[in-house]
Amino acid sequence: MPLMTWNDELSVKVKEIDDQHKKLIGLINCLHDAMKGGQGKQVMESTLQELASYTVYHFQAEEKYMQKFSYPGYHAHKLKHDAFVKKVSDFQKDFEAGRLGLSLELMNFLKEWVTTHIMDTDRQYSATFVKAGLK
């Protein structure tokens, strides 16, 4: 059973961004499955790396549109992105160094952060993006 499931409540009404959110949810589910399945450190490490890289790519896409459409909440939103990237990067370094393992606590953090971020923070730019013509 996946840790997270996409549903319409998570939609920001922009296909490109929704597709990226679906990909992030899929990567979190892959990481969760690897952890629950007791897969080797290499599998978990590569999945965690892919999640970290894709998150940066996704945040850059959102931020590009925020700047392009003069979204007034850009700076506050970017600070949240930066904090998340730092936290995941710190965790990744600890995991690679063998100081931390993947835990259900981390999985729940990822699930909670992504869900809350999409449903609260990302929804705030939705009207701006749609009004500018993104669909």
For 52-102, write each residue's pLDDT tens digit.
Answer: 899 999 999 999 999 999 999 999 999 999 999 998 888 888 887 877 666
- pLDDT value for 107: 82
- pLDDT value for 92: 83
- pLDDT value for 64: 97
- pLDDT value for 65: 97
- pLDDT value for 102: 67
**Rounded Cα distance, 69 and 133, in Å:** 10
Amino acid at position 74, single letter: Y
Mean pLDDT (whole number) for 27-51: 82
Is 71 within 8 Å of 81 (Cβ atoms)?
no
**Rounded Cα distance, 26 and 28, in Å:** 5
- pLDDT value for 40: 61
Is 17 within 8 Å of 61 (Cβ atoms)?
yes
Q: Which helix (DSSP H) or strand (DSSP E) does residue 132 occupy?
A: none
Q: 14-131 has which CATH code?
A: 1.20.120.50
Highest mean pLDDT among 11-20, 21-30, 38-47: 11-20
Domain boundaries, the chain: 14-131
Q: pLDDT tier at 124 (50, 70, 90 boundaries)?
A: very high
- pLDDT value for 35: 81
